[in-house]
Structure 1
């Protein structure tokens, strides 16, 4: 029998103390600790967006077990990682776990044999074998040898990779490798930056925007209570971005805040800010003494002259932090690898360098990205790796064009899809969750309701371009047949 849920209100000293933290607390019957729940967790509205999408997907599969579901929702890449990248990861594995592979009678005595081996046995099999319980003995034996053992790396990332990011991604922008911190992804870095900033800062963010910015702000205690009438949290400055203002906020109407989150190309709208707009934002931050946290995770998708980094703008080094990722750039959604740039010129109000505090956060809370992932990241930034990865990015951009054309042919207003893998589609007068449910029910296609990205996302859906070409074409056919 499941535990009984009860509402507790009591005049006992301990429960009065709990009540000071939580006015009305839902607990399970039976023994419990005397630790108050983080009051900021109670402020969060519903579940995080993407697990909710996953839940509805599962329910739909249960309802229609024979339906061929197409997922254009959660932005998970689908194309294989280029061979040059996986080869570098496999070679690292082969070197580190040489004793383990010798038990399988695998010769790895030359680069040529390594390449031949990779062609015969896909690198995925190595990962599978290393985590297969049946092969746990060999894995353990490898760790008990000098050749097979690998311990902590530098918390900030391998020097070779930091240098490659500096010279390849930020060439001619003056970003030093010591200002780059390699991580396990941009989303993790958002949380680390929030820890760095603390609970006493004020925050502004785009509306709509990636939900991790707002949720981490709430969890850190930067936000006030949720306002039902406005669908917004108190103490958060929502910068509305809509077709009416070309998805860039009117900064003359924005109150001064300590922190400004901005993602370009934006998730979910797909809009990339122009150079003039970004100059305006940097000047706004300098005038107000604010710090911009700039998310450039989708910069590889930019086709026009929109800036790929905020550090292309003069003065940005004094007011900005940039986070980025290999996830959508190189298909590392499962591999997990990203980076954050904190310039030396960025100072707190007392003159102390922000980079020194972020280094302390990283060293305290993170033991460094996976060595295997970093080997792959380094291969991504080679000339051959960049060529291969750009080919995959272009494939997704072609998918986005197909999706945008599909919704346009249905007479809908379509945004994004040019500098981004996301298409932002407007359904006037409709609730975005209703649109999500209708498309799922009629076409067996997963999208993402715009409301999940903020109140300004109501009436929109986000459609991702991550899918195999046959799935994208099939989705286009279904949409045209069922939504006319």
Structure 2
């Protein structure tokens, strides 16, 4: 019985394949250049400025290589933050019904509004933003927060300066590099010259010292933070809003993990008075409702947010969306609407609570071993410190000795060096087995 339960999340390593033939970094010759016919099209200097493969495909590749060396190992994946529990029936039935209706003359629908289904936009405004005065037409439904990050980068142009939390979600920096905002990469610091890195560590309670932070046009801020798991307090978010106002900056606020908040930390930046004048908020159904493969998210562009010349930012974003996006899948949007019904919302909240209990188990286990452990309360991630050690060395040691996949903290920025991130996404049996192995390793 236990073996069959464990098989839901522990699998034979030999079946894990990230399609290595598509990973160009593993099949390079002549300093990364391939031999053969070349066009006369130059490679983008911005793409050349990217310093490594994107973090998560690199994790999959290392996992694959481990599986080739250890074909009989049972891997537990607590690395890439992919949800594992089934989507509640009330949600999947709504999507299935919508898909079935597409096979009828009466139920068929083609293109929808690029901005999203009107009913879903209203449900997001009413259910998730309550009394924050977020209007449904300020909400743009999308195929996920990560895609919206790139669309917002396109909106704001390549001449803008950028600030990010350090550590932070890699897409904030990588998309800035691709757009040409980052400047030259400095090997000695691991930083790009034109990006302002806002240190977030235990010494400053994982919130940057804004008094010493340089001005930037765009401030990327994620709360609860990925990877540290820390949620900024109301007072801290208020400080951030005031900082943006005094500097004339725009905050891009990622609230994708807000459903995991267990204390009084704000779930939206719009809980702070005046935030609509300086902030764009992106969010997602991925970790909230298990839609990592379904793909559904949204971005809020308040009418009050203006450029320096007084032109509303929402009008330009609407143009970007209409030009670059044909709207989220109507089947996914039917599922999103079901998530926000009273029954659906309770069902997905139960799944979130399940992951939160997983996080508590991992946090308490690793803490009991004398490790420096953070996060795990307001997010499904546990941030573990190994002072003086390389993140990749710790990642490799844990993988080799326990067959548990984590994420090296250095992949999230220079301040992440010496940390690993452990995900709480998995079945309870999987989490308990992983903690048993980690106890054996660190005892």
TM-score w.r.t. length of structure 2: 0.93
The alignment partner of 1:69 has SS state of strand
For 1:349 and 1:86, locate their aligned partners in 2 and report how far apart those are by CA, in whole Å: 45
- Show the counterpart of 1:176: 135
Among residues 196, 215, 218, which one is paired with 1:259 in the alignment? Answer: 218
| Match in the other structure for 1:85 | 91
Query: Matches of 1:244 and 1:39 in 2, distance apart?
Result: 37
* Gap change, CA 1:430 and 1:374, over 3 Å in 2: same
Matching residue of 2:77: 71
SS in 2 for 1:28: coil
User: What stretches of structure 2 of length at least 5 have no aligned partner?
Assistant: 1-23
SS at match of 1:31: coil
Q: Does 1:163 align with 2:169?
A: no
Alpha-carbon separation, structure 2, partners of 1:382 and 1:150: 22
- Contact map agreement 1:270 1:423 (CA 8 A) in 2: yes
Summarize the Cα distance change of 1:60–1:28 in structure 2 as closer, same or farther, 3 Å threshold: closer
**How far off is 1:190 after superposition?**
0.1
The aligned length equals: 418
1:207 CA drift (Å): 0.1
User: What is the aligned partner in structure 1 of residue 322 from structure 2?
Assistant: 363
Cα distance in 2, alignment partners of residues 189 and 55 from structure 1: 26
Structure 1's unaligned 5+ residue stretches are 8-25, 99-145
Q: Which has the larger radius of gyration?
A: 1
Cα distance in 1 for residues equivalent to 2:28 and 2:291:
43
Give the equivalent residue in structure 2 for 1:133.
Answer: none
CA distance in 2, matches of 1:479, 1:223: 38
| Structure 1 residue corresponding to 2:371, chosen from 384, 387, 412 | 412
State the alpha-carbon separation in 1 of the partners of residues 265 and 109 from structure 2.
42
SS of residue matched to 2:251: strand
Q: Secondary structure at the match of 1:305?
A: coil
SS at match of 2:60: helix
Q: Is contact 1:4–1:29 with CA below 8 Å preserved after alignment?
A: no
Instruction: Note if 1:294 corresponds to 2:253.
Output: yes
Q: How does 1:452-467 map to 2 (within 5 A)?
A: 452-467=411-426
Structure 1 position 201 matched with structure 2 position 160: yes
Quick one: distance in 2 between partners of 1:285 and 1:27? 43
Contact 1:186–1:325 (Cα < 8 Å) also in 2: yes
Cα deviation 1:166-186 (Å, max 9, x = unaligned): 011011000001100000000
Kindly state the Cα deviation for residue 149 of structure 1 after the two structures are TM-superposed. Answer: 4.3
Measured in 2, the distance between the counterparts of 1:81 and 1:343 equals 31
Matches within 5 A, 1:115-154: 146-147=105-106, 149-154=108-113
Is contact 2:101-2:108 (8 Å) kept? no
Q: Secondary structure at the match of 2:74?
A: coil
TM-superposed deviation, 1:188: 0.1
Cα deviations by residue, 1:361-400 (Å, 9 ceiling, x for unpaired): 0000000000100000000001111110110000000000
Whether the 8 Å contact between 1:293 and 1:322 is mirrored in structure 2 is yes
- Is 2:60 aligned against 1:54? yes
Structure possessing the higher relative contact order (Cα contacts under 8 Å, 6 or more residues apart): 2
Q: Tell me if 1:443 matches 2:402.
A: yes
Give the Cα separation in 1 of the matches to 2:360 and 2:234.
Answer: 24
Q: How far apart are 1:147 and its partner, in Å?
A: 4.4
Tell me how far 1:5 sits from its aligned partner: 4.5
Contact 2:145 2:282 in 1 (8 A): yes
1:43 is the counterpart of 2:49? yes
Is residue 254–residue 283 contact of structure 2 (8 Å, CA) maintained in 1?
Answer: yes
Partner of 2:236: 277
* Structure 2 residue corresponding to 1:426, chosen from 375, 380, 385: 385
Is 1:238 aligned with 2:197? Answer: yes
